[in-house]
């Protein structure tokens, strides 16, 4: 059932030009950064005289592309998640889902999985693109795996939050703006506490937890943070939809 809802969301996403345009634009951006990264690598590394300054091509190109990806997703995910529920609310199609034999949990998780599947296309694309470096070099696949997992968890968190904000309003644009602001605040939260990295508030920052993945480290603590973040917002979304049924 979750699968059927996800399928329906994907169909809607690809039925409008929006999905295709976002995919194309993002792939173009990632491709450009990849190309620049490869070009810059030789320039920078030929200038690096001491061996300590030299590091691998995977990391050099990878951090450019994944750095851009985490930043660009901040804009892309709210644009994609905004219509998940608010659009249905506006065009009054929610009763279609509510009167089908589905639980609210299935509906919400289905929508989440649908969006995540769409975004996974991009993550997979980045991973494949970086893997092509292996043709003429010996690259660090562990680094790519860690980054892909990190990026997946990051966009999953973005999607969960976006889904929640989408359930709050019947105006997709309002949902997009609200989720963008919330995500932006959560991303840069650790900058405000740069002087005191052990501060609890700094621990809430999404970026802080992404950083270990960006360095190629899979930390179970960070995974737990992202998973809890996702579950929290999915539960909030389910409760919000349930309130519709209870309060009308």
Q: What residues make contact with other proteins under the rule CB under 8 A? A: 1, 4-5, 7-8, 11-12, 15-16, 91-103, 245-246, 248
CA dist 148 and 69 (Å) reads 10
Cβ distance to other proteins smaller for residue 10 or 45? 10
**Which residue's CB is nearer to other proteins, number 15 or number 128?**
15
In the complex with other proteins, the residue whose CB is nearer, 5 or 57, is: 5
Contact 73, 158 (CB under 8 A): yes
- CA–CA dist 111, 117 (Å, integer): 10
C-beta closer to other proteins: residue 88 or 190? 88
Residue 212 CB-density burial (10 A; 0-12 exposed, 13-18 middle, 19+ buried):
middle
Closest approach of other proteins to the CB of residue 85, in Å: 14
Count of Cβ atoms closer than 10 Å to residue 49 Cβ:
8
Closest distance to other proteins from the beta carbon of 206 (Å) = 32
Output the smallest distance, CB 112 to other proteins, in A.
Answer: 17
Provide, rounded to whole angstroms, the least separation between the CB of residue 166 and other proteins.
16
Cβ proximity to other proteins, 12 vs 211, nearer residue: 12
Instruction: Using alpha carbons, list the distances in angstroms from residue 207 to 29, 67, 183.
Output: 21, 11, 10
Please identify, using beta-carbon distances, which residue of 14 and 71 lies nearer to other proteins: 14
For residue 175, what are the CA distances in angstroms to 8, 167, 202, 235, 248? Answer: 21, 8, 25, 18, 21
CB neighbour burial string for 15-26, b if at least 16 within 10 angstroms, e if fewer:
eeeebeebbeeb
The tokens describing 160, both together, are 């969960």
- Sorted by sequence, the CB contacts under 8 Å of residue 16 that are 6+ apart come out as none
**Least separation, in Å, of the C-beta of 176 and other proteins?**
18
Q: To the nearest whole angstrom, how small is the minimum distance from the Cβ of residue 18 to other proteins?
A: 10
């Amino acid at each position: 059932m979750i699968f059927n809802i996800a399928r329906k969301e994907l169909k809607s996403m690809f039925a409008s030009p929006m999905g295709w345009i976002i995919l194309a634009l993002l792939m173009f951006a990632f491709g450009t950064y990849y190309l620049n990264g490869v070009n810059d690598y030789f320039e920078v590394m030929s200038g690096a005289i001491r061996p300590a300054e030299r590091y691998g091509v995977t990391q050099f190109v990878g951090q450019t592309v994944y750095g851009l990806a985490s930043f660009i997703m901040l804009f892309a995910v709210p644009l994609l998640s905004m219509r998940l529920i608010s659009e249905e609310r506006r065009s009054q199609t929610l009763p279609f889902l509510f009167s089908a034999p589905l639980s609210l949990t299935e509906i919400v998780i289905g929508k989440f999985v649908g969006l995540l599947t769409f975004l996974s296309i991009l993550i997979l694309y980045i991973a494949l693109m970086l893997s092509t470096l292996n043709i003429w070099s010996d690259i660090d696949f562990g680094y790519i795996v860690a980054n892909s997992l990190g990026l997946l968890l990051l966009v999953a968190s973005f999607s969960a939050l976006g889904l929640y904000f989408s359930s709050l309003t019947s105006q997709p644009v309002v949902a997009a703006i609200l989720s963008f602001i919330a995500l932006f605040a959560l991303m840069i939260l650790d900058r405000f506490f740069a002087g005191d990295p052990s501060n609890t508030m700094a621990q809430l920052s999404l970026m802080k937890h992404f950083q270990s993945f960006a360095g190629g480290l899979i930390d179970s603590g960070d995974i737990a943070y992202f998973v809890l973040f996702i579950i929290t917002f999915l539960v909030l979304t389910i409760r919000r939809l349930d309130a519709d049924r209870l309060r009308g």
